[in-house]
Structure 1
Amino acid sequence: MVGVLRRFAHLLTRPKVAAAAFWSVLARLPVYLMTLAIVLVVREQGGSYVQAGTVAAVYTLAMAVLGPWVGRQADRHGHRPVLLVTGLAFPLSMAAFIWWTEPGTPAQFVMAAVSGSLPPPANSSVRSLWARLPLDERARETAYLWESLLTELLIIGSPLLLAALMITGSASLGLTVITAVGGLAACGFALTPALAVVRPAGGGAVGLGPLCERGLLTLFALMAGYAVPIGLLTLAIPAFVDQHGERGHTGFVYACWGVGSAVGVLLLGNLGMGRPDHQRFPWLVLAYAVGLALPVLAFSEPTLGLALAVGGLPIALVAATELSLVRGLAEPHTLTEAFTWASTATVVGEAAGQQLGGLLVERAGARGVFAVAVAVALAVAVLCFAARGVLSRRTPSEVFSD
């Protein structure tokens, strides 16, 4: 654990990196709470759960559809102008959605779609930056480990921040503050020295862009499949807690999964670092599948929390390897769009898992959904082993000088 923390400290204190890392963390505060926050805001406005869920789905769909296009603009025109424009426009559009629309009105759906198309591409931009920095392979792997750890911390911490703001105000005020901070931080990230010297390698992608690359398309499909069990468990965990505990404890049990994943980075971050990504990836996905089998054995809230924490240890390591594979497979002038497509693939996979989980949980129960999640993950692991040759192709890295 100490060795991994030392690697993080060495990476994040490098010249040009510290400021970019700081602002990029703040810029991503809104990313992992938007669906929950939108539901809370619409309910606070007097809307039904059906209306709230529909509005949240419109936001997510707009983000998934238009996110890659925004990433392409960053590749084509540079990260700075795209981050500045979206950093200013996103909080303004969210303010209009929160304070000037009402549940069930066309204006609310329109503003949800507009807001979903405008989140600053901080995730894909910073991951593209890690790919372009003049780092050795170990330092670059450390960067993607950091990204995976940060994702878990934000998934756990962002809703807690929203809850803290709601104590002193409301969901509407809390979401307004968080999106404003995220937008301003995106502008701060855009103005850092690191991004000032990054230049696209070409004119950006055309046509289907990264989707024309066989290796990337294969990886995106595997990432979508890998995310299906995560979507399944978002339905199975609440169902299990309803049956074996108290509904109010669902959030705490679910958080154990993220905590386990974050701990996995610290404890296992050095695992297999010397092996090529395409060889390490299938084994990590297999470990993820085995970990998913533990919740099948749970019989109470505490045992489910423990099973999720232990079983979640490989999750962030899988995510870090996925990011490294995207960096190696994408052409330099399509990096940002490629990272955005990777996020989109994960969103699509989780959504499919949630839909399937909703259909299964009433018939098969939580334990049955856990078992289906294991079967899906094992199938994806087999496909990952079969795809090692396709995933082994590497493209030259683009770097900039200090």
Structure 2
Amino acid sequence: MHRLFSPYRSVLRIPGTRSLFAVALLARVPSTAKGMLLTLHIVLDLHRGYGAAGLAAMALTIGVAAGSPVLGRMVDRHGVRPVLVVTGLAESVFWLAAPFLPYDALLPATLVGGLVAVPVFPAIRQAVSVHVPGGQRRQAFALDSMIVEVAYMIGPAVAVLVVTGLHRAEPAMLAIGVLTLAGAAALWPLGRILTPGLPGAEAASTATETVKGGRPFWLHPGLLLTLAVCMSANLVLSGTEVSVVASLRAVGQTQWAGVTIIAWCTASLIGGFWHGTTAKPLRLPVLMLMLGLGTVPIGVVAAHGWTWAALALLPAGLVCAPTIASTAEAISRSVPESARGQAMGLQGSALTLGGSLGAPLAGSVIDHSSPVWGFVVAGLIGTVLAGLALAYRPRAAAPGGVVAAPADVATDAVPNAVAEPVAT
């Protein structure tokens, strides 16, 4: 048992790491509740339909996806603290004002609120990549992915409980405004880690080097492919969630959807723990392939009831957290430190876009066929992207000594490490 936990103990023994992961959980829980609160507010308080709520969710998603890499670039140039001040105040104002806006004004305000959202997830991942030595990043990102799972198990559930208890979402939205500002304040210590100039003047200059076409040299095809894999991973996850609910509704067991999804999340936590402890981690394309192929047959089994659905989700669930953790680790290794904010922002955009596309895509497929095909389509998309990543072969290393390959480069300079791809 001691050997099982020793990789994580070594990470947590790094000065400041425990507080970093504690902040990671506390700051993320309110963030995971925001989409749910916005939907409940529009449906319960404004008495609009779910279509109107979906448009607002789309506006929030577009805003976050567009703003994330821009804010990451600002972190690279000016440090995280100025970004936290601006976004903390701006997003708090949005959530404090949102309950009092009519729907026609709420929609564009939500887009702006997404653009100025506190970059909680990218900032924490960037801090992990800078603070933790390369030989321990796999364990650190695995631990971070498990924290994300816990946050998503807590945040939306608490939001639903509060809103259903009060029969309105407005008080909870005001509370989120306060908690957003508190979360930005909790991230303030990251300023000691994410400070401009720490990588050195030479690294800072390499981040601005461009290749033919004007793009930064680190934005190579391998990185773009890995971002696509990252997006498809979250697409598979969000499509699976919708398909689970639809499958259980078809057999009259909707009330067990929450328990089924908790079982799925638990499998992901176990997989994330394994990913950080094993001496032979699977490569990112292989993990993505297992996630895609494991998702395809779930619908056939889930048609027999929630217990079968929970069991069918286990194989794909076991590789959920490892897949997301591998993308973060790989991105951190394939770009210079002075560009990690932008790179982690792009990962955040990829995850956001994947999550926003997966649910409506699976829902549309289910509406025109059956829940079985929701799983099939989501799984096949992930499988295809995994196949492309497996087939990709980089031509050469990028300028500045940064590896351009997302699939075949070793990521750990420690004994027993194996090849890990460089690429939530």
Would you say 1:297 and 2:301 are equivalent positions? yes
- Look up the equivalent residue of 1:382 and give its one-letter code: G
Contact 1:30 1:179 in 2 (8 A): no
Contact 1:45 1:102 in 2 (8 A): no
Aligned match for 1:351, one of 353, 356, 359: 356
Residue 119 of structure 1 aligns to a residue in which SS?
coil
Would you say 1:280 and 2:277 are equivalent positions? no
Q: Distance in 2 between matches of 1:198 and 1:142?
A: 26
Contact 1:282 1:384 in 2 (8 A): yes
Residue equivalent to 1:17:
17
- For residues 12-161 of structure 1, the aligned pairs below 5 Å read 12-48=12-48, 49-98=50-99, 100-103=100-103, 105=104, 107-133=105-131, 135-137=133-135, 139-161=136-158
| Larger deviation, residues 314-323 vs 31-40 | 31-40
Aligned match for 1:235, one of 233, 242, 245: 242
Q: Distance in 2 between matches of 1:159 and 1:6?
A: 32
Residue 245 of structure 1 aligns to a residue in which SS?
coil
Q: Distance in 1 between matches of 2:123 and 2:130?
A: 11
| Larger deviation, residues 370-379 vs 216-225 | 370-379
Residue 32 of structure 2 aligns to a residue in which SS?
coil
Q: Distance in 2 between matches of 1:75 and 1:396?
A: 23
Contact 2:330 2:411 in 1 (8 A): no
Relative to structure 1, the CA distance from residue 281 to residue 187 in structure 2 (aligned partners, 3 Å threshold; closer, same or farther) is same
TM-score, normalized by length of structure 2? 0.82
Aligned match for 2:367, one of 362, 368, 385: 362
- Look up the equivalent residue of 1:287 and give its one-letter code: M
Residue equivalent to 1:371:
376
Q: Distance in 1 between matches of 2:134 and 2:241?
A: 37
Displacement of 1:4 = 5.2
Point out where structure 2 has 5 or more consecutive residues left out of the alignment: 395-404, 413-424
Deviations 1:171-200 (A, max 9, x none): 222233234223212223213574375646
Residue equivalent to 2:232:
225
Q: Distance in 2 between matches of 1:268 and 1:394?
A: 17
| Larger deviation, residues 381-390 vs 306-315 | 381-390
Residue 102 of structure 2 aligns to a residue in which SS?
coil
- Look up the equivalent residue of 1:319 and give its one-letter code: I
Q: Percent identical across equivalent pairs?
A: 21
Deviations 1:103-156 (A, max 9, x none): 2x2x2123212211122112111211222225241x211110011111111111
Relative to structure 1, the CA distance from residue 114 to residue 130 in structure 2 (aligned partners, 3 Å threshold; closer, same or farther) is same
Contact 2:142 2:325 in 1 (8 A): yes
Contact 2:227 2:350 in 1 (8 A): yes
Contact 1:293 1:371 in 2 (8 A): yes
Deviations 1:258-299 (A, max 9, x none): 22111222345323x456xxx711222222233214513231
Instruction: Report how many residues are paired.
Output: 389
Relative to structure 1, the CA distance from residue 208 to residue 69 in structure 2 (aligned partners, 3 Å threshold; closer, same or farther) is farther
Contact 2:76 2:338 in 1 (8 A): yes
Contact 1:326 1:339 in 2 (8 A): yes
Contact 1:328 1:393 in 2 (8 A): no
RMSD (Å), alpha carbons:
2.8
Relative to structure 1, the CA distance from residue 366 to residue 393 in structure 2 (aligned partners, 3 Å threshold; closer, same or farther) is closer
- Look up the equivalent residue of 2:339 and give its one-letter code: T
Displacement of 1:355 = 3.2
- Look up the equivalent residue of 1:173 and give its one-letter code: P
TM-score, normalized by length of structure 1? 0.87
Displacement of 1:323 = 0.8
Q: Distance in 2 between matches of 1:141 and 1:341?
A: 20
- Look up the equivalent residue of 1:182 and give its one-letter code: T
Aligned match for 1:213, one of 205, 208, 220: 220
